[in-house]
Structure 1
Amino acid sequence: MRHVLVPRTKGFVATLEGLKGHVHAVYDFTIGYVEAVPSLAQWALGYVGKVHVHIRRTPVGELPVGDGALAAWVMEQYVAKDLRLDRFYRTGEMGA
């Protein structure tokens, strides 16, 4: 993957298990920066240029069951996110 870090699937699985009954959906935000990616200091000071945002909501009931299946699902989402960002940085379009 070129644009995202490898996900912490064990942490995600543990968090989802710990919040069972309290969380109704998982939200996936992908942010593409039109200009250079801002530094942490620029973010803190509000110096962020134009961005494109893709948001995907997955109800908890639609998530795979079992730690291994859920971890594989998370990895698939990150691969799709990386492909979406690759397309964005080539074409300027985030896509659906």
Structure 2
Amino acid sequence: MDNSRKYFLPSRKRFNAIETILLTIDKSWIFLCLLLLEAMIYWFDKYTGALTSFSPFYIFPVAISASVLSRWQTVLSVVFSSLGRISIFP
């Protein structure tokens, strides 16, 4: 494998570094950032209308919250993602 492709492949060391960073950050900041991410996805979904759907992207904030945050924060993230998706396409 040449050196130009090795930087694009994820390594276990990089995953461990990201995991360490996420576990050391205050959980309220992570929750706030995930809510802002959901709001941004909602805005893009509303702005583009029915022509382009951003519905698959609602899973990323939920997956991150499920792996890092508490249960009630994950439930709130799921509720906000569901409400955002329902309000765009009733």
Does the TM-score normalized on the shorter chain lie above 0.5?
no
- Structure with the bigger RCO (C-alpha within 8 Å, sep 6+) is 1
Q: Give TM-score, length-normalised by structure 1.
A: 0.29
More helix by share: 2
Q: Give TM-score, length-normalised by structure 2.
A: 0.31
Greater Rg over alpha carbons, structure = 2
